[in-house]
Amino acid sequence: MGWEKANHHRTLSSLKKKGEMMTNPQIVECVPNISEGKNTEIVQRCIQSIESVKGVKMVDFSSDPDHNRSVLTFIGPIEEVLEAAYQLTVQALNLIDLRSHSGTHPRMGAVDVIPIIPLLNITMEECIQASDRLAKRIGESLHVPVYLYANSAKSENRKKLPSIRKGEFEGFDTKITCEEWKPDYGPCKKHPSAGVIAIGAREFLIAYNVYLDTIEKHSRKQWRAQISASEGHVHQRKEYGSGFDEYS
């Protein structure tokens, strides 16, 4: 279980005490998801690529070997965060090959998604513009197709990540040739080992796993129905189901 907003206030206070923040800095949070959750050395090298950028602070990371996926959380001034996200992408392209990847979580890229979240002295519109700059740089210099999603999406069908990710890495050989799924930046051809990336500005997201001790789809549907009947208290709800060999 993880939540994005848990530590950023504490980290901001720490940076202020250390004098590492300029006057009225534009601070954002970035929460890239990479398609590696088993090889700890690869995950650590990806973290090191983020930490190599001065002014950026790692807040948290979590890896799930069943999902074979890691979530990395860092904050800092907007331009430094964009640079750290770029350096992470460079490193991930060198280390992660989706042709030999397997895991229970849907995935379409070595770096699957790069969300940018406004924290301090910065608007959502400015984060949208920043995400566009990052997408353009990655698409053009690293030759990876990039889709803008969430608040950065340029069409309605790209606002939701599952819509873009449908078909996953293997399906993009065909999907990307459709005019509807032409990438916003980068080549109109899937990167052979790194797939495609989604980049976008959004608000905070709370994500957690619920493990059901059953393989019956009916039970999962009942659980979803109970969440849906929450009288409007759950907004922008997303869920997916997958199977695990073991429960802990």
Catalytic residue positions?
105
Yes or no: say if 166 and 114 are a contact pair by the CB < 8 Å rule. Answer: no
The residues near 60 (Cβ < 8 Å, ≥ 6 apart) are 2, 6, 7, 73
DSSP states of 167-197 as a string? THHHHHHHHTTSGGG--SBS-SS-BTTTB-E
* Gap between the Cα atoms of 213 and 244, Å rounded: 10
Yes or no: say if 210 and 226 are a contact pair by the CB < 8 Å rule. Answer: no
How far is the CA of 129 from the CAs of 2, 125, 150, 183, 185, in angstroms? 27, 6, 13, 17, 14
List the Cα angle 151/240/46 in 5-degree steps: 65
How far is the CA of 48 from the CAs of 43, 72, 93, in angstroms? 9, 11, 14
The total number of residues shown for the chain amounts to: 248
* Gap between the Cα atoms of 76 and 56, Å rounded: 5
